[in-house]
Chains A and B, each alone.
Chain A
Amino acid sequence: MRADVCVIGSGAGGAVAAAELAEGGLRVVVLEEGPARGVADATGRPRDTLPRLYRDGGQVATIGRPPLMLPLGRGTGGTTFVNSGTCFRTPPPVLERWRAEHGIDGLTDAIFERVETALGVAEVTPELAGRNAATIRRGAERLGWSGGYLRRNARGCRGSGVCAFGCPTGAKQHAGEVYLPRALEAGAELVTGARVERILVEDGRARGVLARTAAGPLEVRAPTVVVAAGAVHTPLLLARSGLGRSPALGRNLTVHPATAVWGVFDDPVDMSRGVPQSYYVDEFADRGFVFEGIAGPPDYLALAAPFRGDELRELMLAHRHVAQCGLMVTDRSRGRVASVLGRPVVRYDLGAADTSTFHEGLLRLTELMWAAGARRVILPVARVTQLRDGDSAPLRELALEPRDLKLMGFHPLGTARAHRDPAHGVVDADLRVHGTRGVHVADGAAVPGPLGVNPQITIMALATRLAHHLLNKEVPACRS
């Protein structure tokens, strides 16, 4: 195959870059390792969809203290097919730091508006958000904490309550729903089931991509390659292609480590009804943590709650009375990605500062649950699994250690980070791999560091900026 641009990956970065480049008149080939995803894949049953829609059956985990699950999508749309649909712009202080320290500029309001318009981003209504969100809101308001309903990429959402397991009504406007069809309509070609072996480079210039498919090897000849395989796989692909010799390659991994707290209430919450992630509390953002309400059906609760035996059964029988809220930390810890026997191995240890932030965050979130009226609070902490009757002392007095925590990491970022100086970044401020011509990165790997908010809009904005840079065009006013 021949193309002007070969895009590797069809998630938040790849699908956006492909659409913008194809609509700009370039011949684009998109290579996606996973299968084509659609509404038919989303049955609304977490138990049955989680192992099928997530990479490695949803069992990607880090090595370190504590080990944490790293759920990644696989297939068209990438992780946007299975994320919660939360949309935040890159926070202005982050943009300012990138400008000053990394030389990254040009993420303008016009770019964010263009992305948000394409995705139909709008604030969730209280009615659609459901009672889990209302519970979180009630607690926050009683404490006078700052918060609000989240903005999301959905059109015609009916509050099915299973965003993270694929939207069964097709309401979620993920990258595979919005951008990939635009790319194809503009003439791009999509090859699914294509695992990229390496990027072909001659004399420091991209010549194309070599992939493996069920039908055999596939070579795409293209003078420009956009890598968007995600923060776990992009650095490994660059490394096995002999690219990105920066000492930063595969390092500087941040994941926004996160966990959840459950409150048990007298009145029904019915957290399986409504938009799972729909209310946030940012009162403590400057302390390095935020709360985002997150919910799901009973099997999701059984999966996540730290119980077994009689305690689990009793919780499940009372599931209608359970509310859940997530705690996400802007991590200062840094991990790394390496290849061992051809498989990615992710090392990440939670540092003392982040452990302390988790302790503070858990105490604050417990306070919120008490304020909302919880009788009992269930914690993701091995040595203190639950608190009763407003008494947070056992948690407060605990010398919390990383191994106590049950964590997940939803937002891997930074393993091929952008920096003007090749000693500190794998790609330059325009997302071109240092020391090469024609190889660019447009996914979470290029994001220089943690954002403190969900990253899909940032990744899409960076991909939009890259595409117009490659097209040598200004980003036009937003598309309706």
Chain B
Amino acid sequence: MRAREARAAAALIDAVAAPEPPLPPVDRTDAVASFATWVALAPQPNRVVLRATLLALAAARFPLRDRAGRLALLRRLGRSPLGEGLRATAAVSYYGDAGVLRTLGHAR
């Protein structure tokens, strides 16, 4: 992912995972790298849509909005496959980080 896409992905992950102490902020995890892996391994049509969505979010100044504003925008995507795909990928990318798992008490 390019820098703009990565910034949009980080803002998306922050909105979905909503980390607060004791959970670490997104930039102290490998969530964005994981998100990028999920996008890279998606089938081509999904990959194109996901990347276009990230660019559209960036163009809509999504990363500059507060968390509530970002969630409100995501809610407008509703339960569409795209909305659920973004939600699920963001959630698993953050909550699968090794440090987050340790903080949650899951040591494996």
Contact = CB atoms under 8 A, between A and B. Distances in A.
Contact of B42 (A56, A298, A310): A56
A41 interface: no
B81 A316 contact: no
Interface stretch (A5-13, A43-51, A446-454): A43-51
Given A59-B42, A59-B46, A299-B95, 15 more contacts: A45-B96, A47-B34, A47-B92, A47-B97, A48-B96, A51-B38, A51-B42, A303-B92, A308-B87, A308-B90, A309-B15, A317-B104, A319-B104, A320-B105, A343-B45
B16 A312 contact: yes
Interface of B: 15-20, 23, 34, 37-38, 41-43, 45-46, 67, 71, 74, 78-79, 81, 84-85, 87-88, 90-97, 101, 104-106, 108
A45 B67 CA distance: 28
A67 interface: yes
A313 B91 contact: no
A361 interface: no
16 contacts: A47-B95, A51-B38, A59-B85, A60-B43, A272-B106, A297-B108, A298-B104, A299-B95, A303-B92, A308-B91, A309-B18, A312-B91, A313-B17, A319-B106, A382-B79, A403-B79
A380 to B, nearest CB: 10
Contacts of B16: 308-309, 312
B19 A302 contact: no
A200 to B, nearest CB: 28
Nearest to A57: B41
Given A48-B34, A310-B18, A313-B17, A57 B81 contact: no
Nearest to B68: A309
Given A56-B43, A312-B91, A299 B96 contact: yes
B79 to A, nearest CB: 5
A69 to B, nearest CB: 9
A222 B102 CA distance: 54
A313 B18 contact: yes
A219 to B, nearest CB: 28
A398 to B, nearest CB: 15
Contacts of A304: 88
Nearest to A310: B18
Contacts of B101: 297-299
A172 B46 CA distance: 31
Interface residues of A, number: 37
A320 B104 CA distance: 9
A163 B79 CA distance: 28
Closest 4 CB pairs of A and B: A47-B96, A299-B96, A57-B41, A302-B95
B85 to A, nearest CB: 7
| Residue of A272, A300, A301, A316 with highest tally of chain B CB at under 10 A | A316
A27 interface: no
B74 A308 contact: yes
B51 to A, nearest CB: 14
B15 A303 contact: no
Given A46-B96, A57-B43, A312 B17 contact: yes
B92 A302 contact: yes
B91 A303 contact: yes
